[in-house]
Structure 1
Amino acid sequence: MEFNLREKLLTEIKEYQSEYKEEQAFKPRFENLLSNYENCFERSLLMGHITASAWILNQKRDSILLLHHAKLNKWLQPGGHADGDENVRAVALKEAEEETGISGFVFASNQIFDLDIHTIPERKEVPEHEHYDVRFLLVAPERAVPQLNHESNDLKWIHFSNLKEKISHEPSLMRIYAKTKQFI
């Protein structure tokens, strides 16, 4: 029997439980995208596509690694396009490594940590579209030092005591922050 990552993800999303009503509302939309659009892991699906991201804790579990996204001009978690890869865990890990310059992350849990669908504004030749983001909780290796790249204006560890001021504009990040408390 062939191992089908798309079917595995679809099953995980169907079984995913959340106390947050917005995530429960996202589930049927994810299921529709995965079931009805063969190219849903490709950014060429202009209505929307699967992305993956990483909410990254430090070893002390008192800070989160965020980047100030150059195109969107706000603080966000590392993440990005699947570009055809149906292994969303691998995509989240790859994006975390590429966008932070850190390797050696471990998954705090193998389970999906959060689901989100958010609108990306029109930019150049790409129309406004939605990112169907599958999010995972990662822990960085000890003494991990982030390296800024061209996709970000800034990249830094933000202590929980200062986190709300950076992410209060993003309800989905506030939701992830609330979920993080069970891991610290």
Structure 2
Amino acid sequence: MNVHDVSGQAIAGIGRFTPLDARDRDMWARLVRFCANEPRAFERDPQVGHVTASAFVLSPDLTSVLLTHHAKLDRWLQLGGHCDGIQDACFNATKEAYEESGLSHIRLLTPEVFDVDVHEIPASAKEPAHLHYDVRYLFVAEAGEPLVSEESHALAWVPLDQLGEEAESVAVLARKWPLWRERLDL
């Protein structure tokens, strides 16, 4: 795997990603290097960091995203979680979206990776600070009402035009969505 020119390259267990800007290229290059050099990339090991998988679940009318007020981090975030050794990020994103939302039917909009966000998770009493190599996919809710899970304080449909008020890791959806909507011909 050529870790110097990584645009559009696929990673086993993750898929293909087409960077849109310098931030995307940097995040993807970091993920490619990590997966190429860490044989336990999908395992939950805070000593080396790990791949996580997230779902941006859009409302049926494609105008809002379902966010969770994360209990441990005390922030509004997209749905998602650890891969726990399962080397299929899209499957993990799907599983986490169902578990954390209570929705009865969601649909993957594209198997292509929507976004990558490498970020530090602060140290806790149980784990040292470590990196999450978060791989994000796009979904749309087709049926069901969101139900709060044990991992969150609340769930909310947040209009995409209000995401600028959220953390950059979530606000990225509002910035990228118009281009993706056109690409997906929605």
* TM-score for the superposition, normalised by structure 2: 0.85
User: Partners of 2:14 and 2:23 in 1: how far apart?
Assistant: 18
The 2-side partners of 1:91 and 1:32 are apart by: 21
- Which residue pairs with 2:6 in the alignment? none
| 1:57-114 CA distance string (max 9 Å, x none) | 0111111100011111111000000000111110000000011111321111121100
Aligned counterpart, 1:19: 20
- State how far apart, in whole Å, the 2-side matches of 1:11 and 1:60 are: 27
CA apart distance, 1:34: 1.0
CA gap of 1:98–1:21, structure 2 versus 1, over 3 A, is same
Other structure's SS at 1:59 match: coil
AA at the equivalent of 2:163: L
Higher strand share goes to which structure? 2
Q: CA deviation at 1:28?
A: 2.3
Q: How many matched pairs? A: 172
Cα deviation, residue 9, structure 1: 4.2
Partner of 1:3: none
Residue 71 (structure 1) aligned with residue 72 (structure 2): yes
SS in 1 for 2:12: helix
One-letter code of the match for 1:132? Answer: Y
1:137 match? 138
The answer to which of 72-81 and 100-109 deviates more is 100-109
1:179 aligns with 2:173: no
Question: Secondary structure, in 3 states, of the residue corresponding to 2:30?
Answer: helix
Q: Is the 8 A contact 2:56 2:136 kept in 1?
A: yes
Matches within 5 A, 1:24-39: 24-39=25-40
Q: Give the CA deviation at 1:31.
A: 1.5
* Partner SS state of residue 130, structure 1: strand
Give the number of the structure whose residues are more often helix, by fraction: 1
For 1:43, the equivalent position in structure 2 comes to: 44
- 1:85 corresponds in structure 2 to 86
* Structure 1 residues 37 and 45: CA distance shift in structure 2, 3 A: farther
Structure 2 residue runs of 5 or longer lacking an equivalent are 1-9
Following TM superposition, the consecutive aligned residue runs of length 4 or more in structure 1 with deviations greater than 4 angstroms are none
Q: Is the 8 A contact 2:14 2:88 kept in 1?
A: no
SS of residue in 1 equivalent to 2:134: strand
* Runs of 5+ unmatched residues, structure 1: 1-5
SS of the residue corresponding to residue 95 of structure 2 reads: helix
1:175/1:163 CA distance change after superposition, 3 Å: closer
Task: State the AA in 2 paired with 1:141.
Answer: E
By how many angstroms is 1:7 displaced?
5.0
Instruction: Name the residue aligned to 1:53.
Output: 54
TM-score, reference length from structure 1: 0.86
* Contact kept in structure 1, 2:52 and 2:89, CA below 8 Å: yes
Task: State how far apart, in whole Å, the 1-side matches of 2:159 and 2:84 are.
Answer: 32
